[in-house]
Amino acid sequence: MKVSEALDTRITCRAYTDQPVEAEKINRILKSAARSPSGGNLQPWHVWAIGGEKLAEFRSIVQSKIVDNPFGDGATEYDIYPKELSEPYKARRAKCGEDMYASINVAREDKAERQKHFNRNFDLFGAPAAMFFAIDRQMGLGQWSDLGMYIQSIMLMAREEGLHTAPQEAWALWYKTIGEFLGIPDNLMFFCGMGIGYMDENAPINTLRTDRADFNEYAHIEGF
Ligand SMILES: Cc1cc2nc3c(=O)[nH]c(=O)nc-3n(C[C@H](O)[C@H](O)[C@H](O)COP(=O)(O)O)c2cc1C
């Protein structure tokens, strides 16, 4: 698969088939993604990949806790978005949500149905495998960007293996539960989770193709 094809076909997949993910695919993906660049070659990423019974155990812990704790472990350890998000980002964020709910015919006023869909995050949208990412607390903005590159490499390699992914910051709400379950050391900060599996091609939610800002809004090309 060409890189451009991997980029074009990667979407946030929010419904999966039951087909398990082969262990060798997870290994190949993680080994290839380790070739991601990082400033000073620090390779500041930490990843836990879980599937099978381990993931079933995790799911059942979260599902039992969520009844009394719909907002997870309480506050997140980092701000998922800036507190005062300005334009054009605020509008982009709103549109992303509106387009997603439109793809499954959930009206703006239907708060209960929206909440129900949001909670699908905590079932990994039905993914049969998951990854969780963390970074050493001493790391700064540069290394967080390295972690992002690593995660993108995983998502592109997943495409090469016929798999789809859903990166999920929503899991930041469950950082304590995840840390305890996976044994993430205290010196690491949990960043995000990711569902991984085979896409349910018939699910309406997977028809969503998010738009992108006009090229000229962010790209500055001169001197060519
Ligand atoms: C780091 C990161 C965290 C994300 N967290 C969530 C999440 O918690 N739940 C969700 O439904 N989508 C999440 N997304 C998906 C974004 O909404 C999605 O990438 C964006 O709307 C663009 O759509 P696309 O991935 O289909 O191209 C996340 C994406 C990234 C990169």
Exposed / middle / buried, residue 173 (Cβ in 10 Å: 0-12, 13-18, 19+): buried
Per-residue pLDDT band for 139 (boundaries 50, 70, 90) equals very high
74 pLDDT higher than 90: no
Protein residue with least CA distance to atom 5, ligand 1: 168
Atom of ligand 1 nearest to the CA of 208: 26
64 is a domain residue: yes
Residue 145 Cα to ligand 1 midpoint, Å, equals 16
Q: Structural domain tally of the chain?
A: 1
Hey, what are 33's tokens?
A: 């993604």
Nearest ligand 1 atom to the CA of 100 is 21
Average pLDDT over residues 115-131: 96
Look at residue 85 in the predicted model and tell me its pLDDT.
97
Q: List, for residues 42-72, the tens digit of each pLDDT value.
A: 999 999 999 999 999 999 999 999 999 988 9
Instruction: Report which ligand 1 atom has the smallest distance to the Cα of 121.
Output: 9
118: in domain: yes
pLDDT at 125: 98
Each residue's pLDDT tens digit, 162-204: 999 999 999 999 999 999 999 999 999 999 999 999 999 999 9
Measured from CB, residues less than 6 Å from any atom of ligand 1 are 11-12, 96, 121, 167-170, 192, 210
Tracing tokens 């991601």 back to the chain, one arrives at: 36
Mean pLDDT throughout 206-222?
Answer: 96
Q: 222 CA to middle of ligand 1, Å? A: 31
pLDDT of 211: 95
- Which band of pLDDT confidence, cut at 50, 70 and 90, is reported for residue 222? very high
CATH assignment of the domain containing 192: 3.40.109.10
State which residues form the domain around 30: 3-76+84-210
Q: Is residue 222 part of a domain?
A: no
pLDDT band at 219 (very low <50, low <70, confident <90, very high): very high
Q: What is the mean pLDDT of the chain?
A: 97
Q: Give domain status of residue 32, yes or no.
A: yes
Q: Is residue 190 part of a domain?
A: yes
Q: Cα of 28 to ligand 1 centre, how many Å? A: 23
Q: Return the HEC string of 178-213.
A: HHHHHCCCCCEEEEEEEEEECECCCCHHHHCCCCCC
